[in-house]
Amino acid sequence: MTRSSFLRHCSACGLQITSTSPTSIEKASGETVKLDCQFTLSAEDSGPLDIEWSLQPSDNQKEEKVVIVYSGDRAFEHYYEPLKGRVHFNSPDPKNGDASMNIMGLKATDTGTYQCKVKKVPGISSRKFLLTVMVRPSKPRCYAEGQTHAGKDMVLRCSSVEGTQPLQYIWERTTGNKLLPPLAVLDPVGGTMSLRNATEAASGTYKCIAKNRVGTGECLVEVNITQPPNNAGVIAAVVICILLFLILLALLLFCFCRARNKKKYEKEIAYEIREDVPPPKSRVSTARSFTSVGSQRSSLGSMSPSNLHEYTKPQYDKIPSEEYEKPPSHAPIPPPSRMAGPNLSRMGAIAVMVPAQNRDGSIV
């Protein structure tokens, strides 16, 4: 049934809202939406015309919010502060049958259920709309995780910070044959693409597309698969460096020990030399030695040759002649023990000068 036929059939039906547009609307943020509310009047509707748009609460315990009103041939558009300056009637004169409302610059907070109520006593009618304001996906961020060496596994990740769920992620290849690697595993919800046992043929540029019902966002990531480095050469270089370090350490220890032993040996030699050096004589012992020597010299100086003869001859007369006639013994005469002068000085000995004599007893 067309709108004109419906009007002819219901000419006596009273006030009616005749819009047939969908009551569930999805829009992207930033867009403009028109909530259609067309109505017809009957001859019986004689009272003043009142049009009211309200935002229905999601919780039954809350009151509805009046958004815009037409009453007394005037429009009042500043009832609801969050929509102030962004809402108005679609027609400059709603009494002609167009009570539709336009909302500009949609925001995610504008989501809700809106009701159009037209009243002209005795007639009254209303219609509800479910408006869903969705946010487009923001520009996603693409990056690669894992080693970029042939034979290794790596993961390409894509994520969008903003965007009304559900978000879907799609991966495409923009270079080469534009086909994804045969071993690629895609996760359209998590936004990942896993490259298992990657080869150099997987190198190239990949594009990720994040999309929902109201928009898309995309980003690019570069993948460069290379051959792994020569691990044997690296290991050999490490081993050589370790050996050189050990050799250097051993050389340093050897030089240190040698210098230490040399210093110790020099200390021992210096100590032995100090032991052989006689200590300095004290003044008392020196004076005593000079007194002793002087007395001996005075006694020897007082001897005359005659006195010396008398002094020495009886001593030789007492020696038996048999001793001179006795043949010499063949037994070796032990050498007299000799003691070093410094050692005698340490033992407390005093040096005495004894005059030498001939066999006949005369002083030399």
> Are 56 and 119 in the same domain?
yes
> Are 95 and 155 in the same domain?
no
> Are 27 and 72 in the same domain?
yes
Structural domain total, the chain: 2
Collapsed DSSP state (helix, strand, coil) of residue 92: coil
> Are 45 and 88 in the same domain?
yes
∠ CA 307-309-311, rounded to 5°? 70
Query: From CA 351, how far away is CA 286, in angstroms rounded?
Result: 9
Q: What is the mean pLDDT of the chain?
A: 79
Is 154 or 358 the better-scoring residue by pLDDT? 154
> Are 96 and 197 in the same domain?
no
| pLDDT at 4 > cutoff 50 | no
Q: Which of 134, 157, 189 is the last residue of a domain?
A: 134
Query: From CA 135, how far away is CA 2, in angstroms rounded?
Result: 37
119, part of any domain: yes
Using one digit for the tens of pLDDT, what is the confidence trace for 9-59? 444 457 899 999 999 999 999 999 999 999 999 888 888 999 999 999 887
> Are 125 and 45 in the same domain?
yes
Using one digit for the tens of pLDDT, what is the confidence trace for 299-337? 444 444 444 444 444 444 444 444 444 444 444 555 555
Query: From CA 183, how far away is CA 68, in angstroms rounded?
Result: 58
Query: From CA 51, how far away is CA 125, in angstroms rounded?
Result: 10
Per the structure, the complete domain to which residue 73 belongs is given by 16-134
Exposed, middle or buried: residue 307 (CB in 10 Å: 0-12, 13-18, 19+)? Answer: exposed
| pLDDT at 338 > cutoff 90 | no
214, part of any domain: yes
| pLDDT at 270 > cutoff 60 | yes
Query: From CA 331, how far away is CA 318, in angstroms rounded?
Result: 26
Residue 58 per-residue DSSP state: S
What's the pLDDT at 331?
Answer: 47
113, part of any domain: yes
What's the pLDDT at 62?
Answer: 80
Q: Which of 134, 160, 187 is the last residue of a domain?
A: 134
322, part of any domain: no
Instruction: Answer whether 0.75 is exceeded by the pTM.
Output: no
∠ CA 26-30-36, rounded to 5°? 45
> Are 176 and 100 in the same domain?
no
Of the candidates 309, 154, 170, 293, the residue with the CA atom closest to the CA atom of residue 222? 154
Strand pairing report for 123-134 and 24-28? parallel
Please report which confidence band the pLDDT of residue 343 belongs to, taking 50, 70 and 90 as the band edges.
Answer: low
Under 8 Å between Cβ of 109 and 90: no
| pLDDT at 263 > cutoff 50 | yes
> Are 126 and 146 in the same domain?
no
Mind giving me the DSSP string for 8-26? HHTTTS-SEE---S-SEEE
Using one digit for the tens of pLDDT, what is the confidence trace for 120-144? 988 999 999 999 999 999 999 999 9
What's the pLDDT at 11?
Answer: 44
325, part of any domain: no
Q: Which of 223, 253, 277 is the last residue of a domain?
A: 223
> Are 149 and 105 in the same domain?
no
101, part of any domain: yes
| pLDDT at 262 > cutoff 70 | yes
87, part of any domain: yes
> Are 84 and 177 in the same domain?
no
Please report which confidence band the pLDDT of residue 211 belongs to, taking 50, 70 and 90 as the band edges.
Answer: very high
Would you state the torsion angle of the CA atoms of residues 67, 71, 74, 80, taken in this order, to the nearest 10 degrees?
Answer: -10
38, part of any domain: yes
Average pLDDT estimate for 354-364: 59
Of the candidates 162, 40, 32, 37, the residue with the CA atom closest to the CA atom of residue 104? 32
Residue 186's Cα: distance from chain center in Å?
A: 32
Query: From CA 246, how far away is CA 264, in angstroms rounded?
Result: 27
CATH label of the domain that carries residue 180: 2.60.40.10
Please report which confidence band the pLDDT of residue 349 belongs to, taking 50, 70 and 90 as the band edges.
Answer: low
Mind giving me the DSSP string for 239-295? HHHHHHHHHHHHHHHHHHHHHHHHHHHHHHHHHHHHHHSPPPPPHHHHHHHHHHHHH
Using one digit for the tens of pLDDT, what is the confidence trace for 170-186? 999 999 888 999 989 99
